[in-house]
Amino acid sequence: MILANGKRYESAMQDELLAGLEEKLNATLAGPCLEPETVIAAIDRLGQQAAEGAFDRELAALQIDGAVQYKEMAVRLLRRDHLEFKLRTELGADFRPDRITEPPEGLRPLRVLARPLGVLLHIAAGNADGLPAFSVAEGLATGNINILKLPQADNGLTLTILEALLEIEPRLADYLYVFDTPSSDVGAIQKMAALSDGIVVWGGETAVAAVRRFAHPGTRLIEWGHRLSFAYLSGERPRAELEALARHIVATKQLLCSSCQVIYLDTADFGAVQAFCDRFWPMLEQAARAHRPSTIGAVAELSLRTYTDRLEAILDGGRVKPWSSPLCSLIPKEDSKLELSPMFGNVLVKPLPRAQIIPVLRQAKPYLQTAGLGCEPDCRQALIDLLVRAGVTRISYPGSMSEGIPGEAHDGVYPLRQYLRMVDVEI
């Protein structure tokens, strides 16, 4: 389905709607700017509806584990106070869309206008339900017109959310177009890109590389690619901290960019790695039982991953046997490479002495995101400094690696600043 002009259309109408889209975009751009308060008020009301159960049926249809927690997080992010905090943090507490600068030496002052980039094309990934709607919300908050290409795995939740937003605030209809264009329809996507001033792309290297090929010169590319995150533990960690890490691993299924893929230990001794697995294994098993997958697909995926672990251990000559059960596994490895785990509660455990943090992690510098740091207070700042210099863009405690905080940067960048342009006007 397609959402345009505030109404749904059949997918077969795509080419006809795209043919007339430039005229509609130009008419909207010729009108007054979209005020942030209009968007904030609408999104806040949307969050209230979600809290009251407006989308519970759609969430239930997704058959995802942790749906209740997912809903609670979404409702929190949609609240007015969180949205206003995000704007203040990302754009500055003293941000003004129209200000006068006073250069030194008596030079002529300039009037500086902060204005929307114009038209944003969002090419969304399907690894998080509802993510496309959040991406569009950021574009709306900065006054942009938004064209959203839905991921092929989208299940209708995004369209339902955005339709509800337009019912709350019909004035947003001219700023929102949603197409269910398949990624194979390159011609249609190129037409959308040609109409856009910026392209927001979510996804892996293949998706990002494809966008770079067809984006017009001068179009701003905002790339939110796949990232790798890890826990770094130094010293004997308290049980409560490790239990929180175990819950994080199984609750997120390690599917998010901020999910723990590798547990690094501040040691060069592989025996210490195995001893940690002995201690951590009961905690991971307990967390896995508490977050037992409920959908057939998740159960099948977990079984396949666990079976693969066992086969790999056999092929490895049985030197290092993983701690394994039908629900999860710990896979100790002697190398320190940062890599994607088998996921779904199957986590890698590796040695990484602090002296090797920078040379090891720099090998994965394009993909670094969150480090869940657990250590003694007297060495925390030193370890933070090393992780930051290595290229990590977010540092949390081990159990809260995937807990979003309003106003935090995304992969080291404030998104809202990417969706604005600064215009200098000579006075």
For the stretch 113-166, pLDDT in tens is 889 999 999 998 765 666 788 899 999 999 999 999 998 767 788 899 999 999
Residue pLDDT, tens place only, 358-411: 999 999 999 999 999 999 999 999 999 999 999 999 999 999 999 877 778 888
What does residue 410 show for φ and ψ, rounded to 5 degrees? -115, 115
**Amino acid 74: pLDDT:** 81
Length of the chain: 427
**Amino acid 62: pLDDT:** 66
Residue pLDDT, tens place only, 179-225: 999 888 989 999 999 999 999 998 878 888 888 888 888 899 998 88
User: How do the domains of the chain map onto residue ranges?
Assistant: 2-226+411-426, 228-400
The residue ranking higher by pLDDT, 24 or 313, is 24
pTM: 0.85
Q: Name the CATH code of domain 228-400 (choices 3.40.309.10, 3.30.450.20, 3.30.1450.10, 2.40.50.140).
A: 3.40.309.10
CATH number for region 2-226+411-426: 3.40.605.10
**Amino acid 126: pLDDT:** 64
The residue ranking higher by pLDDT, 258 or 313, is 258
Report the range of poorest mean pLDDT among 8-17, 97-106, 213-222, 412-421: 97-106
Average per-residue pLDDT for the chain: 88
Report the range of poorest mean pLDDT among 57-61, 254-258, 302-306, 321-325: 302-306
Q: Does the structure show a pLDDT above 90 at 178? A: yes
Q: Are 107 and 137 in contact (CB under 8 A)?
A: no
Confidence grade of residue 56 (pLDDT, cut at 50, 70, 90): confident
**Amino acid 204: pLDDT:** 79
Burial status of residue 377 (CB atoms within 10 A of its CB: 0-12, 13-18, 19 or more): exposed
Q: Does the structure show a pLDDT above 70 at 295? A: no
The residue ranking higher by pLDDT, 103 or 9, is 9
**Amino acid 60: pLDDT:** 73
**Amino acid 298: pLDDT:** 52
The fraction of the chain above a pLDDT of 90, given in percent, is: 61
Confidence grade of residue 325 (pLDDT, cut at 50, 70, 90): very high
Average pLDDT of span 45-64:
82
Query: How far is residue 281 from each of residues 273, 340, 373, measured CA to CA in Å?
Result: 12, 20, 19
Average pLDDT of span 300-324:
60
Confidence grade of residue 241 (pLDDT, cut at 50, 70, 90): very high
Confidence grade of residue 259 (pLDDT, cut at 50, 70, 90): very high
**Amino acid 161: pLDDT:** 92
